[in-house]
Structure 1
Amino acid sequence: MPRSPSRSSSNKAALPPDTRIYAIGDIHGRADLLQETIARIDEDIQRRPITYAAEVYIGDYIDRGADSKGVIDLLAVRMVHNHAICLRGNHEAIMEDFLEDASVLEHWRQLGGLQTLASYGVSPSRTATASDVQNAFHAAFPPAHGAFLRCLRNNIRCGDFLFVHAGIRPNVPLSSQDPHDLMWIRDEFLDSKRDHGVYVVHGHTPVPHADIRDNRVNIDTGAWRSGILTCIAIEGTEILVL
């Protein structure tokens, strides 16, 4: 597969020796693109063996695209068999909220929740109440998917790299970051040129291609609409777009 040239993430940020991390951007129901990306990762590991290889999925697995259920099916297997780390995106948080509170339906609907419901075989009628939809979703939601949600993490750090869904609030210690910011923040983080003390790998805000900056890299390339699901391989101080 053709790949872009390697780029140095910064003069300081590095992973531990003999370690490679594959980070995958926002999927949003595109199980087809996820399958292709998993195949590329497996091929890359076979071609370039390394002592420790890990996959970090950056969140927003559901909504907007046609096969959110299929995405979670794939990731749940990857989590068990490949020890993949899956972060919680704001869309997963909203789905979790809806499973607990039916009134969240209207907010979720505005963010592509109907496509997720349809992927589980739930297509609300015009007369269905939010509670009706919630009950139908509970009935259709596999226990394994509930277990998957419980395994989601808000962030993960390895070496000098921090993986989050949306970003971090500048000038706030990492130990004091609000989980809401990690899933939702935009301008305050995106406009910051400061050294955060870690190099941040994130998604949440779509860009045309992997946006590699001095203090962060954005890997959300709007897969559900663009057909491009970005995966980067980080090794040492280099970021390679697969």
Structure 2
Amino acid sequence: MKRSLKSLLKRSAPSVAPKAAPDRPAPDRTVYVVGDLHGRADLLEQMLELIDADVGRTRARNPHLVFVGDYVDRGPDSAGVLDRLHELASELPENVTCLMGNHDRMMLDFLADPLIRGARWLRSGALPTLQSFDLPSETLPKTPTPDTLIELATLLKSNLTAEKHGWLSDLPLSWSSGNLWVVHAAADPQHRMEQQNPRTLLWGHPEFETRPRADGVWVAHGHYQVDTPVFDQGRIATDTGAWHSGRLTACAIRPDGSHRFLQT
């Protein structure tokens, strides 16, 4: 059963939280960073239940949920994921943030220019997305004709609806609280977070996983699939391949710098 999360977010907690150590993330309130969903609407509902229970257990005050992007492709119900996230973000804009992922960007690029962008998106797991929107993709040829691509883009835009298309197009590339930043893919360790290249935030950076930052910033992200979630040296990795592994991961990060991974 779907939850509104309103009762979850109204729960109270002690007004003064202990401070984090200098080498830990220190958001101004509890943050739940949820990894790549890739069409797993079923796991999204399970994760909301886990977050609800964690908020109740810890009495977190006014928590914030951040979804790292990649809502579409590969998994079976991209349409359901977008419907649910749009609902949550609309109902609770002060407590729910959805970031854009590179797969979401590819779908938007396809809608804007199906002839140029279509082939790349289709190679990246788009067929299940089209199917989730009830589009005729089962018999799609390996190399669709220009007319077919244009027709698919027109139908997808109609089924997505103008409201959700506008919402998806306006999704931010980052979110921050204290020294915690959340992005989809990565950040260039040699540049301030305010000066990051949008492509880096969406697609990654060659030094992100190997070169520590020198500014005390912690970066939580998805995109890079890991078998076990990571919380180490300024990086928090949350993409555990939910679309095929069945393990959707979120990291609860407290103002005192402590954390806990939640997993379906």
Q: For this pair of structures, how many residues does the alignment match?
A: 233
Q: C-alpha distance in 2, partners of 1:110/1:10? A: 44
Percent identity for Structure 1 against Structure 2? 34
Match of 2:150 among 125, 131, 149: 131
Quote the residue 1:4 is aligned against: none
Q: What are the residue-to-residue correspondences of 1:17-36 with 2, within 5 Å?
A: 19-36=29-46
Quote the residue 2:13 is aligned against: none
Quote the residue 1:5 is aligned against: none
Report the TM-score, using the length of structure 2 for normalisation: 0.83
Instruction: Tell me if 1:13 matches 2:25.
Output: yes
Q: C-alpha distance in 2, partners of 1:144/1:38? A: 24
Match of 1:62 among 72, 80, 83: 72
AA aligned to 1:158 is S
Q: Displacement, 1:190?
A: 1.4
Q: C-alpha distance in 2, partners of 1:26/1:139? A: 25
Q: What are the residue-to-residue correspondences of 1:158-237 with 2, within 5 Å?
A: 158-235=177-254, 236-237=256-257
Instruction: Tell me if 1:106 matches 2:126.
Output: no
AA aligned to 1:191 is T
Q: 1:10 to 1:214 in 2, by over 3 A?
A: farther
RMSD over aligned Cα atoms: 1.8
Q: Displacement, 1:195?
A: 2.9
For residues 127-153 of structure 1, give each alpha carbon's deviation from its aligned partner in whole angstroms, at most 9, with x where no partner exists.
662112112212222233213303411
Q: C-alpha distance in 1, partners of 2:170/2:46? A: 24
Q: Which runs of 5+ in 1 are unaligned?
A: 1-7
For residues 193-229 of structure 1, give each alpha carbon's deviation from its aligned partner in whole angstroms, at most 9, with x where no partner exists.
3334310001101000211111111100010011100
Q: C-alpha distance in 1, partners of 2:160/2:27? A: 37
AA aligned to 2:56 is Q
For residues 88-133 of structure 1, give each alpha carbon's deviation from its aligned partner in whole angstroms, at most 9, with x where no partner exists.
1000111111111012111001110111111101124446621121
Match of 2:135 among 119, 122, 137: 122
Query: Is contact 2:25-2:253 (8 Å) kept?
Result: no
Quote the residue 2:84 is aligned against: 74
AA aligned to 2:188 is R
Q: 1:196 to 1:97 in 2, by over 3 A?
A: farther
Match of 2:103 among 91, 106, 122: 91
Q: C-alpha distance in 2, partners of 1:167/1:152? A: 17
